A and B are shown apart, each in its own frame.
Chain A
Amino acid sequence: MQIKANDFVQSATIAIHDITLQTALDRGTGRGVNGRIAGMAEANHAAALREQARASRLRALHDMPDLLEQFEQKFTERGGTVLYAEDAQACNELVIEIARQHGVHKIVKGKSMATEETGLNHALEDAGLEVIETDLGEFVVQIDHDTPSHIVYPIIHKTREQVSALFVEKLGIEPTTDPGALTKAARAYMRDHFLSADMGITGGNFAIAETGTIAIVTNEGNGRMCSSLPRVHVAVVGIEKVIENVDDFGTLVQLLTRSATGQRLTAYVHMMSGPAHVEDEDGPEQMYVIFLDNGRSRIRETEYAEALACIRCGACLNTCPVYQNVGGHSYGWVYPGPIGAVITPLMVGIHNAAPLPHASSLCGACKTACPVDIDIPAMLLRLRADLVDEGDTPAVITGAIKGWRVAMSNQALYEASGKAASIASRAIAEDGQLHNLPGMLGNWTKNRDFPAFAPKSFHELWRERKLNGKR
C-alpha cells in the first residue's frame, strides 16, 4: 500500500470538511465507544483482567522466538505447515507459490490487516488469481476500489446510504438502506464463490503456542467459510500475535471483543490447529500459517516494543478525538488512529510518517481505552524526540524552542519577554482579544481568539502584594 502519511495535515483538513464522512465517523466511533464502555462495565474484575492481559502480552513478546518455535512444532505435528516471511514481498510470494503448487484459481479471503500491510490482493491479482473479500466491510472496500479506514470496521468512513448506492451499481440490487437487506445481497453474491474457491486466506487474531492453534474472532462467519470450505487454507499472521497458552487466550479474547464491539464474545470464534484429519467431515486438506515479520523483530528490540502488544481491537481509534474528526485514511497507511501513529513511523520509517507522532493532543484517552494499557502517548513523545534528534522538524519550531529555552532558564529574561509580549499583545488587542496574529501564531487565530497578556504579571502582583504588607 502506498504510504501517504506525510500528507496527514492536508488529508485531515479535507476530511474535517467532508460532511458525509463526518456523519459516518460520528455514528461509527460513537457506537464503538459506547459499546466498549458498556462491555467493560459489565465484565467481572475488568481492571484485573486488563492487567492480566497486559502481562500476558508483554510476556509473550519477551518469549516470542521460543513461542514461535513451539507453535511451529505443535502445528507441524498436526500436519500443518509454518512459513516465515521477512517482509511484505516475501509474504506475497509465499502465498502465490502455495497457490501455484495447489493449482488454485479462485481465492476467498477473510479480514486481515497483515495482508493489507503486504498489499496481498494486488499481488495475487497481478499473478492472475481471482480474489474475493468476504468480510462485508472488506467486500465493500474491494468492489469500490477503496481502502479500509479502521482496524475493526473497515468501512467506518462510509454511510449506509453510500453502501446502498454502491450495491445498486455493482450488484444490481433494488435501492435499500436496510442493513439486513444489504448484507443479504452480499451473502447471495458470495455464496457461490465460497463453494467454488480453491483457497481461503484469513488473518489470525492469536496464535496459541501451547497448542499450535490459530484463533480468528469474527461476527459474520465468513472466516469459518474461508478456512474450512476451500481445499487450502492460508493464515497470514504477524509474528507478534503469538501468545503462550489457552488461558491467555481466554483472557485476551474477551478483552478483544469487549473493547472492539462491546460484545462478551463475537458470534464466531474459530480455533484451528491444522488441516482436516481423515475422520473430520470438513476442513481444508492443507493448512499453512505464514508468520509475517515486516519489521516486527526490529521493533521488538527497541524501546517501542510495547507497541507490538496491540491486539487490534480498535478501541483507541474510536475514543481518539483526532481520529473521530479526521478518519482513518488521513493517517496515510494501513494502521490509523493513535496506535497507527506509533506503528506506522516504526514500520515505514519515521521520515515517511513525520506528522503522525504530532497528530495527537496527548490527551491520553487511547491509553485509558487500550485493553492492554499500551502507553501510546509516551511513545508518541519518544517518536517526537526521535524526529528532533534526526533533524526532521521545521526550522521555525526549532528556533522558537531555542529562544524559549533561553528565556525560561533565566528569571530576568523570562520576565522581560513576558513584559514585551504584554505590551505588544495589548497594543493590537480589541476588547482584550487577539483576532489575527502574524506568522505561525496565525494558525491559532485561524479559528480561535487569543487573550491579550495581562498588564502586570503574577510576579509583579506578588511583589506589590508583599510591599503592601501581605505575606
Chain B
Amino acid sequence: MAKHIRQLPAKHKKVSFFVTCIVDMIYPETGLSAVEVLERLGCEVDFPQAQTCCGQMGFNAGYRDDATAVAKHFLDSYKDAEVIVTPSGSCATMVRHFYTDLFADDPAWYDRAVYAASITWELTEFIVDGLGITDIGAALDLPIKVALHDACHGLRGLGIKEQPRALVGSMGGVTVEELKGADQCCGFGGLFAIKMPDVSGAMLNDKVQAIVESAADVIVTCDASCLTQMNGGLSRQGCPKRVVHIADMLAGKVGQNAD
C-alpha cells in the first residue's frame, strides 16, 4: 500500500496551485481566496493551465487504468513545479499516497510520482508545516462562532487536524466552538454518495444533526467535496447554517459563502 514519502522543504519556492476540479468548476471564488491568502503570506503563485483533476474519482471506483491516464496528465501538468499546493486534503492524499501505488510497476513514472508526492501540500498544512506560519494576521469584521469539521482524507491520510484549528483560531473576531463528532465522516465518499444514497444520506443526517446542535454559526472544513455534501444536506433540510471552505475563511470572505 501507500508509502509515506517525506516532504521536501517548501519555503521560498514558487507555488504551483492545484485548484482541484470541484473548486475550479463549482467554487472558483474559493480558489481565488486560497491564492490571495498564499500571496498575502509572500508566496509567488502560479497556475498551470493544463491541470484538470487528480484522478481520484476513477481510482476510488476501482478503475486504475483510467485513473493512471488522468494521473499522468496531472504529472505532466506539474512537471516544472517546485511546490504544489491544493485546497483539498483529499486530492493531496491522492497525489501523496496513491500515485506511487498506481505507478508501482512503471519505474519512469514511479520516480515522477515520488517527486510529485514530496512537493504536494494541502493548503493549511503548507501554511503551518511548510511555511511555519500559524498566525496569518487576519481578522473578520463581524465576530463569528465557528467549528471545524475534519475532512477524512486530510485527517487520516495527512494528519491534518491542528493546522486548520491553529489558523482559524488565530483570526481576530473568531471563536472556535466544538462540533460533536467533528472527525466523523459526512458520508460523501465520492461515487459512494451516488451508489449508496441511503447510507450516505444516513451518515449525512448524523452530521447535519451535529451541526444543528453545535453552538457554531459556521462550520469550516478543508475540502470542497465534504462541504458540498454537508451544505446539500443543510439546504435540503432547511437549516440556515452553512459550511465554508477554510480558504474563504482565511481570506475573510465568510459572509460571501455562507449565503
Contacts and interface: CB of A to CB of B under 8 A. Distances in A.
Interface of A: 9, 12-13, 16, 321-322, 324-326, 355, 357-365, 367-368, 375, 378, 381, 383-388, 393, 397-398, 401-402, 404-405, 407-411, 414, 418, 421-422, 433, 435, 440-441, 443-444, 446-451, 453-454, 456-462, 465, 471
B214 interface: no
A408 B73 contact: yes
Interface stretch (B25-33, B108-116, B137-145): B25-33
Given A414-B52, A448-B201, A364 B24 contact: no
B57 A404 contact: yes
Interface string B122-154: 000000000000000000000000000000110
B232 interface: yes
Most buried by A among B25, B69, B200: B25
A359 B189 CA distance: 10
A461 B23 CA distance: 12
Contacts of A410: 52, 73
B198 interface: yes
B49 A401 contact: no
A325 B185 contact: no
Contacts of B27: 454
Nearest to B207: A321
B42 interface: no
Q: Is the interface of B mostly helix, strand, loop or mixed?
A: helix
5 contacts: A361-B190, A397-B61, A408-B70, A451-B228, A458-B32
A451 B28 contact: no
Contacts of B50: 411
B196 interface: yes
Given A321-B187, A401-B58, A411-B50, 12 more contacts: A9-B198, A13-B198, A325-B206, A361-B190, A378-B1, A386-B62, A409-B69, A414-B53, A421-B25, A443-B195, A444-B232, A454-B29
B28 A321 contact: no
Contacts of B26: 451, 453-454
A381 B60 CA distance: 6
Nearest to B194: A443
Contacts, number: 204
Interface centre among B32, B229, B232 (most CB of A within 10 A): B232
Contacts of B72: 409
Interface centre among B27, B157, B193, B236 (most CB of A within 10 A): B236
B229 A381 contact: no
Given A362-B189, A451-B26, A457-B28, A441 B194 contact: yes
B47 A401 contact: no
Interface string B192-227: 111111111111101000000000000000000000
Most buried by B among A12, A322, A368, A441: A322
A402 B50 CA distance: 20
B66 A402 contact: yes
A358 B192 CA distance: 7
- Give the most central of A357, A453, A454, A460: most B CB within 10 Å: A454
9 nearest A-B residue pairs (beta carbon): A361-B189, A384-B62, A448-B232, A363-B185, A364-B156, A447-B201, A458-B28, A363-B152, A405-B66
Interface in B1-41: 1-2, 19, 21, 23-29, 31-32
A326 B199 CA distance: 7
Given A443-B197, A459-B49, A449 B203 contact: no
Contacts of A471: 44-45
Given A16-B202, A359-B196, A457-B28, A367 B58 contact: no
